[in-house]
Amino acid sequence: MAAPMRKDEGRAAATEARIAALDLPKGGFSGAARADALARFRAMGLPGRRDEYWKYTDPAPLNAVAAPDAAVFAADEAPIFGAVDRLTLVFVDGVFDADASDDPALAGVEITRLAEAARSDIHWAQELYGVLEARGQSPVARPFAALNTAAATDGVLIRVSGAAAKPVHLVYRHGAPTSDAILHHCVKVEPGAELTLLESGPAAARFNKVLEVDIAEGGRFHHVRAQGRDHERRAITHVFARVAEGALFKSFTLTANGEMTRNECVIEIAGDDAVAHVAGAALGDGRTRKFHHDDTVFVTHDAVGGESRQVFKKVLKNGATGVFQGKILVKPGAQKTDGYQISQALLLDEDSQFLAKPELEIYADDVQCSHGSTTGAIDETALFYLRSRGVPREEATALLILSFLADAIAEIEDERLAADIVARLEAWLARRKR
Amino acid sequence: MLEIKNLQVKLEDEDKEILKGVDLTVEPGRVHAIMGPNGSGKSTLSYVLAGREGYTVTGGTVELDGHDLLDMEPEERAAAGLFLAFQYPVEIPGVGNMTFLRTALNAQRKAHGLEEMSAGEFLKLVRAKAKTLKIDAEMLKRPVNVGFSGGEKKRNEILQMAVLEPTMCILDETDSGLDVDAMRLVADGVNALRDAGRGFVVITHYQRLLDHIKPDVVHIMADGRIVKTGGPELALEVEKNGYAGILAEVA
């Protein structure tokens, strides 16, 4: 049994080396949660390709002690969501930029920075910080989320008690080519309250982000994000959401470019008739830099009459890789559950690949659950139809790609935000005409 | 003017000849009907004219107003004035009918060196054309052909034709899947577009469409060739005696 011992020792040593390089905040309201998270992370260790949930994605760039370099991408588009009145909070390489941010005052919403709140021993976020993350560690280990809880340097703590007058927009700028950012946000939506949270930007050369969202009875939470277009950036993000009775959670993510992106979403339908939709549109072109994009989703139904929907679409070309690992777990007693999952890839050439692992695990007998996964090319008949009307090949292809992505975009409720996302998609496609 | 001379076509994937020397000249202002039994090559002819992939032209020429059609991409053929109304119009989820129409019209205008049409101007144009085809605002808003009935799909094809104003229209079994009322609506739409500068090729199995769209010339196609040409009375003969009689006669 010498070989496995060596492997485990190797993993433990790499984990310790990773921990040793971190500046771990201590004390304050989050101190105990951070210590627990560190212990969790130690016990799990850094992941390897042999771990079931890391079979398709190589964690090496995330495991590395130092962030691999990533050149800063010059902004060439108008700021996203610019057409929407919103409250903007800016982080540069994970460091809050007060001058570039709005005053965090919004009626019905309480916003505090984690770095400031962490100094006090008592804070409302104590019931949330690291709590949903810890719940989300079973049955699948998520070591980078535990690492995040232990080491996050900043983030925002948002408590919503009414209908927020406007969306809160977290802008993540990338300034230094070697930056390594760890941010942790907590959002508490009180009964009947409503918030739209926007996120955009690459954040850093390597970005580890956790968002914990607790939505109380009848609360509504909308989340729309656009990850940065820096070609070499790496990102590991987690959303942990708990959705109470009659509450709504909706999340959409646009990813264009990025050498490595892993977005995990862990949702708990905790109350009856709760609704959770999570969607993503990813565009990858491996021509200049590698593109690897991984959506790993786990939805647990633990209440009656819940509805969940996963809609993930990827457009891949020039050797780009897409991964989808999605699970719906229906616990005993979660009757009348309506669970749906679709993951689809549009491969624009024969060099690109899509790896999908849809899973259903159902322990209730009166439920409706379905999943599907497809991998295909542009429909030649549809392409001919459009061209026969005078639309040139490139433009027709772009229209068909937007058609392919439409179901995912339809998950964005606010039409202005959806229009902005579509504009980004169109611009990306226009830059990549053959 | 569309001039097809000795057109020979086979399938790209297999060594099977579909068109074995088609000759056809369609002058502006004229309506030519092509009738024929299943498998005679009628639809293949329409696809080859529009530039669909999967076919190899092994001989012959096709010119539209003096331009070599076979040398052009499908979008170039459209810009040159060719329009194919599909037998099975394609559904394109997520792309609004108006967006599709506007993209197509502006692409053709661009090809002709014209400015793009403004949104307001375009809306006015489409509304006027849609009204005569009884296409309502709701249908214009929906994704292209998604959830459309057979009749709605065909009306939508004619709407595209009306907006794009081609000089040579090919209607591939536009009557298939239509009830009498829907067929009349479609035929009225086509008739409204008949003018001295526009030619039509109407491909159909049955004579009934030709009751509504009166042809000037009727061709019978069989086994990859046009075997008989005549006036509208030829269609009536097909209706009465079927293809068997005519084919026996020309054999």
Give ipTM to 2 decimals: 0.96
**C-alpha span between A162 and A154 (Å, rounded):** 25
Most A-contacting residue of B73, B90, B141 (CB-CB within 10 A), to test interface: B90
* pLDDT in the model for residue A1: 40
Residue B194 has pLDDT above 50, yes or no: yes
Q: Which residues of B touch A393 (CB under 8 A)?
A: 73, 75
* Pairwise CB contact (< 8 Å): A382 & B90: yes
Most A-contacting residue of B52, B75, B160, B170 (CB-CB within 10 A), to test interface: B75
- Percent of chain B scored above 70 by pLDDT? 100
Most A-contacting residue of B73, B101, B103 (CB-CB within 10 A), to test interface: B103
| Strands B225-230, B217-222: pairing kind | antiparallel
* pTM given for the model: 0.93
Q: Chain A 393-422, CB below 8 Å of chain B: which residues?
A: 393, 395-396, 399-400, 402-407, 409-410
- Residues A353-366 as b or e (16 or more Cβ within 10 Å = b): ebebbbeeebebee
Residue A381 at interface with chain B, using a CB cutoff of 8 Å: yes
* Pairwise CB contact (< 8 Å): A403 & B92: yes
Average pLDDT over every residue of A315-336: 97
Burial of B121 (0-12, 13-18, 19+ CB in 10 A): exposed
Neighbours of B135 (CB within 10 A): 21
Across chain A, what does the average pLDDT equal? 95
Q: If pLDDT is split at 50, 70 and 90, which confidence band does A3 have?
A: very low
Nearest to B79 among A390, A396, A400 (CB): A390
* Pairwise CB contact (< 8 Å): B78 & A390: yes
- Both tokens of B98, joined, read 């108006």
* pLDDT in the model for residue A6: 64
Question: What are the pLDDT digits (tens) for A160-206?
Answer: 999 999 999 999 999 999 999 999 999 999 999 999 999 999 999 99
E strand intervals along B30-128: 31-35, 55-64, 67-68, 82-85, 92-96
Average pLDDT over every residue of A40-59: 96
Nearest to B95, CA basis, from A422, A163, A5? A422
